[in-house]
Amino acid sequence: MGNTSSTAVQKCLTSAVGGNNALLAYKETPLYQLNHVKPYNLDIPITPAAVTYPQTVDHVAAIVKCAVDNNLKVQPRCGGHSYANYGIGGQDQAIVVDLKNFKQFSMNNSTWQATIGGGTLLGDVTKKLHDAGGRAMAHGTCPQVGIGGHATIGGLGPSSRMWGTALDHVQEIQVVLANSTIVRASETEHSDVFWAMKGAGASFGIITEFKVRTQAEPGESVLYSYSITAGTAAAKANAFKQWQALVSDPNLSRKFASQFVLSDLGVIITGTFFGSKAEYDSLNIEGRLPKKEGSVVVFKDWLGLVSHWAEDVALQVGGGVASNFYSKSFAYTPDDLLSDAAVDKLFDYVDKTDKGTPVWFVIFDLAGGAVNDVAPTATSYGHRDALFYSQSYAVNLFGRVTPTIRSFLTGFNKVIQDGLPGHSLGAYAGYVDPALTNGQESYWRGNYPRLQQIKAAVDPKDLFHNPQSVKPAAA
């Protein structure tokens, strides 16, 4: 962007936000990268053309028009946790629309439908729903993640087996489209846009407001954790076999959430049961898992439970802390269970391979339940048949991700794929992986062709763009 066009863009954006230059930041702005760009993955350097902080939906629409008029791409940002920095465009010369000023909230106490601003972080969603009548919705456990991206890409969390994904709660949105119009979209209005936004939102528009159904908070809940801190590769493999057998039981209670976490420290099987301790005990979960040191904690209050989840995730992921990392994911259906031989090979690989860093982990996360109840084509979300996911993640604390680190993670996932010959494992778009050669097909599976058709209709010039966003169907 030369000086002439740069000046034109800046004049346009200044006008778009009503002359308030405090709502705009550019490359010349002091501490631009640190205070405004704020890449989550430090391994992928990006310099957007501008970062904007609109205060009204009209500001958003005007910013979108500026981008169109100046031939720039646009990406919305809420929590800013994209693994490939797609919330800041995923490439240079994009305009970032940061939604931090859109944190409005209200509750309809007759329908229990909540209105939530598109820039609200999950920690605030939990607290506001609780304060508005002891309500809740399904979402992930990291409080710094924003609902704008989370509830348009999937939004999996411990309560998803009971209530579905975060996007399954969404009943209506206010969205700014590529032609800078502001529309309300639902199953009855702008239904194609609504369908596309529920799974691939960043490719189609900027949501400034959600209307969501809510649930009554669960009462007593049980948090369980069983760990193997020492032990051989064979012992850890055996633990995974037991966990996989447990979570693939078609009769497993939907009140049961579970994770198998593998790291340098060993194995932890952890999760939540949304019911009483007596009911949990009656399921004999402990008897179906390895006999190792463990703890079972009963929570009487929802906020206490949710904050405990956040503490766990903060230890595992670093929460809102930016770092140099690499991550990959797989989605497994009930037909993609790993054989005992494949599990043995996987844990042998982990045992013998140089990771290049002590900060790595793999989370196998149970899904299924209510998520699977929704028809595969009812929303654009691509994994209605997923039973569980794996997320492998490695951090370099001392600089860029090294070839050794990348090779370890790539090899880990290759061992899994080799153990399932002929199976096409998808990837979760919430754990975006820029190394995928067919990312769109992996993220959205059979829904991708329809997404491309809708993209061609509402964003034919691919304004809302990142390196793995939905591309318009050819005319």
The CATH number for 60's domain is 3.30.43.10
Query: Which residues, in sequence order, are bridge partners of residue 305?
Result: none
Assess if residue 170 is contained within a domain: yes
Residue with tokens 């693939």: 248
Model confidence pLDDT, tens digit, residues 383-437: 999 999 999 999 998 999 999 999 999 999 999 999 999 999 999 999 999 999 8
Assess if residue 469 is contained within a domain: no
What gap in Å lies between CA 466 and CA 135, rounded to an integer?
35
CA angle (424, 386, 433) in 5-degree steps: 60
List all residues 6 or more positions away from 28 whose beta carbon is below 8 Å from its beta carbon.
none
Judgement on whether residues 310 and 373 belong to the same structural domain of the protein = yes
Judgement on whether residues 239 and 205 belong to the same structural domain of the protein = no
Whole-number pLDDT of residue 320 = 64
Judgement on whether residues 279 and 354 belong to the same structural domain of the protein = yes
Assess if residue 458 is contained within a domain: no
Kindly provide the residue ranges of all beta strands, DSSP E only, lying in 238-359, ordered along the sequence. Answer: 256-263, 266-273, 294-299, 324-332
Judgement on whether residues 400 and 413 belong to the same structural domain of the protein = yes
Rama region for 281: left / alpha / beta (φ>0; ψ in -120 to 50; rest): alpha
Amino acid at site 467: P
Largest CA distance in the chain: 71
Judgement on whether residues 135 and 80 belong to the same structural domain of the protein = no
Judgement on whether residues 213 and 332 belong to the same structural domain of the protein = no
Assess if residue 460 is contained within a domain: no
Residue with tokens 């919430």: 430
Judgement on whether residues 80 and 27 belong to the same structural domain of the protein = yes
3-class SS at 171? Answer: strand
Judgement on whether residues 264 and 392 belong to the same structural domain of the protein = yes
What gap in Å lies between CA 204 and CA 175, rounded to an integer?
9
Instruction: Give the other-Cβ count within 10 Å of 302's Cβ.
Output: 21
How many structural domains are present in the chain? Answer: 3
What gap in Å lies between CA 385 and CA 332, rounded to an integer?
8
Amino acid at site 390: S
DSSP class of residue 55? S
Cβ atoms of 381 and 199 closer than 8 Å:
yes
Assess if residue 27 is contained within a domain: yes
Mean pLDDT of successive 10-residue stretches along the chain, which has 475 residues:
68 97 96 94 94 98 97 95 90 94 98 98 96 96 92 95 97 98 98 98 97 95 85 91 95 94 89 93 87 76 78 55 92 96 97 94 95 97 96 92 96 96 93 93 97 98 96 91
3-class SS at 187? Answer: coil
Judgement on whether residues 343 and 257 belong to the same structural domain of the protein = yes
Looking up residue 256, the CATH number of its domain turns out to be: 3.40.462.20
Judgement on whether residues 335 and 434 belong to the same structural domain of the protein = yes
* Residue 146 phi, psi (nearest 5): -95, 145
Instruction: Using CB atoms within 10 Å of the CB of residue 250, give its burial: 0 to 12 exposed, 13 to 18 middle, 19+ buried.
Output: exposed
Instruction: Using CB atoms within 10 Å of the CB of residue 100, give its burial: 0 to 12 exposed, 13 to 18 middle, 19+ buried.
Output: middle
* Residue 310 phi, psi (nearest 5): -65, -40
| Domain, as residue range, for 137 | 105-217
What gap in Å lies between CA 290 and CA 226, rounded to an integer?
8
Model confidence pLDDT, tens digit, residues 324-338: 999 999 999 999 999
